[in-house]
Amino acid sequence: MSASRLIRAAILPDYDQPIEVTTVTLDAPQHGEVLVRLVAAGVCHSDGHVVTGHLPLPTPIVLGHEGAGVVEEVGIGVTHLRPGDRVMVSWIPACGHCWWCVNGQPELCEQANTSAVTGERPDGSTRLHWHGAPLYPFSSAGTWAEAAVVPATSVVPIPDQLPYAEAALLGCAVQTGVGAALRSPLRPGDTVAVIGCGGVGLNIIQGSRIRGASTILAVDPSAENRELALIMGAHHAINPSQEDALTAILDLTADRGVDVAFEAVGQPELIALAFAAARRGGTAIAVGVPTPNATVSVNAFAFASQEKTLTGSWFGGSYAPRDVPRLIALWERQQLQLTSLIRRQYPLDAAGEALYQLLHHPAGRNLITFPSSPIPPDISEKGA
Ligand SMILES: [Zn+2]
Ligand SMILES: [Zn+2]
């Protein structure tokens, strides 16, 4: 087995501290693990939630939980990947044998979700070190780094024609958003509201379009996100800074409300808005990640008298080895847009700026890219 190596990574030393781009130690892949040299990594709102401490993951932490790159080394027991493979990297490496994995909900995998909270392997070790102490990757990924050692189930091969930048988005935003829509009770012809149109919300819109929704209403205060929402397939874009979102949704649905309302921000009052926006007998789905102690208040009478359902969706119910090939097939048939989701690209040294943009001017999906990688990035192909 090869030795550990020094890599550059963007780390958050502690909550509310500036990002530090520095040299850290990355262990060689162990049994069932893969070392991926990153070419592109996504900037997700969940990364911002770690910085503010709203998502209290252990620090110091290497942020980033979606990416794409090239396999450089595989650990013992990995038979479906080999060095040189082009791959995407995801963030819930389902173990395949816990109760939830066996019973068809791999997104709730006990081992993967525990590792996300502890930042450790199941045996308690860490893959990264800084100043001789443990350094934790965001949800067994940590893609804001030149390379990452990840469980092989987080890694899915991608075809040559899929550029790394687009492939990176499959790791979190696309699986979460499209999966939430495809696994919802949404039926062809239904009406949909999507509250919050960032990386995940835009993909809920895409999933709803793919599923055959007749009317998709997008709600977001950002003009850039509303414009993107229309490109992704929304029929109306509502600016909640200028008009009451619930009134607008009712006006556009003959005062009934929508069949399915999605919340993609993680704010309790917006989850309550989704519940209110669902028609009698309709469904509201919380997809955004709230802070751990947040509680949501909804009208209890509506549960019984209006037969409403309020439910959650974690990671879109996705399992990367199963769902990423399906999403790539949709992209190949031009049913799934990836390139138009991408806004800005930052070098690793500008990771702090990428976070600032995320927190203050969120729009579409931004990326960290690695032009210094010895493997030539092919993001110039992104018009493909
Ligand atoms: Zn994410
Ligand atoms: Zn499991």
| pLDDT tens per residue across span 365-383 | 899 999 754 443 333 333 3
Proximal ligand: closest to the CA of 176: 1
Rounded to an integer, what distance in angstroms lies between the CA atom of residue 269 and that of residue 253?
21
Expressed in angstroms and rounded, the spacing between residue 210 Cα and the centre of ligand 1 is 21
3-state secondary structure of 309: strand
Expressed in angstroms and rounded, the spacing between residue 315 Cα and the centre of ligand 1 is 8
Write the CB contacts of 369 (distance below 8 Å, at least 6 apart in sequence): 39, 40, 41, 165, 345, 346, 347, 377, 379
According to DSSP, residue 143 is labeled: -
Rounded to an integer, what distance in angstroms lies between the CA atom of residue 219 and that of residue 226?
7
Expressed in angstroms and rounded, the spacing between residue 81 Cα and the centre of ligand 1 is 24
Write the CB contacts of 116 (distance below 8 Å, at least 6 apart in sequence): 57, 91, 92, 139, 140
| CA distances (Å), origin 125, targets 21, 118, 181, 183, 307 | 23, 10, 36, 35, 47
The 10s digit of each residue's pLDDT in 41-99 is: 999 988 999 999 988 899 999 999 999 999 999 999 999 999 999 999 999 999 999 99
Whether 5-174+317-381 shares its CATH topology with 184-312 is answered no
What residue spans define the domains of the chain?
5-174+317-381, 184-312
Proximal ligand: closest to the CA of 170: 1
Question: Do the beta carbons of residue 148 and residue 89 sit within 8 Å?
Answer: yes
Question: What is the pLDDT, as a whole number, of residue 317?
Answer: 97
Expressed in angstroms and rounded, the spacing between residue 126 Cα and the centre of ligand 2 is 19
Q: Which CATH topology does 5-174+317-381 take?
A: Quinone Oxidoreductase; Chain A, domain 1 (3.90.180)
**Whose structure tokens read 């092919």?**
378
Cis, bond preceding 60 (omega within 30 deg of 0): yes
Write the CB contacts of 362 (distance below 8 Å, at least 6 apart in sequence): 45, 198, 222, 225
Expressed in angstroms and rounded, the spacing between residue 139 Cα and the centre of ligand 2 is 14
Q: Which CATH topology does 184-312 take?
A: Rossmann fold (3.40.50)
Expressed in angstroms and rounded, the spacing between residue 289 Cα and the centre of ligand 1 is 9
Question: Do the beta carbons of residue 88 and residue 67 sit within 8 Å?
Answer: yes
Q: What is the mean pLDDT of the chain?
A: 93
Question: Do the beta carbons of residue 100 and residue 110 sit within 8 Å?
Answer: yes
Closest Cα to residue 61, out of 72, 49, 46, 50? Answer: 50
**Whose structure tokens read 């892949």?**
29
| CA distances (Å), origin 63, targets 26, 40, 83, 178, 242 | 14, 13, 24, 23, 35
What backbone torsions phi and psi does residue 33 show, to the nearest 5 degrees?
A: -115, 165
Q: Is the pTM of this model over 0.95?
A: no
**Whose structure tokens read 């080394």?**
73
Expressed in angstroms and rounded, the spacing between residue 107 Cα and the centre of ligand 2 is 8
Write the CB contacts of 5 (distance below 8 Å, at least 6 apart in sequence): 25, 26, 28, 147
Question: Do the beta carbons of residue 61 and residue 351 sit within 8 Å?
Answer: no
Give the total residue count for the chain. Answer: 384
Expressed in angstroms and rounded, the spacing between residue 150 Cα and the centre of ligand 2 is 16
According to DSSP, residue 302 is labeled: H
Per-residue pLDDT of the chain (384 residues; tens, 9 = 90+): 578 999 999 999 999 999 999 999 999 999 999 999 999 999 998 899 999 998 889 999 999 999 999 999 999 999 999 999 999 999 999 999 999 999 999 999 999 999 988 989 999 999 999 999 999 999 999 999 999 999 999 999 999 999 999 999 999 999 999 999 999 999 999 999 999 999 999 999 999 999 999 999 999 999 999 999 999 999 999 999 999 999 999 999 999 999 999 999 999 999 999 999 999 999 999 999 988 899 999 988 888 899 999 999 999 999 999 999 999 999 999 999 999 999 899 999 999 999 988 888 877 889 999 975 444 333 333 333
Rounded to an integer, what distance in angstroms lies between the CA atom of residue 89 and that of residue 149?
10
According to DSSP, residue 376 is labeled: P
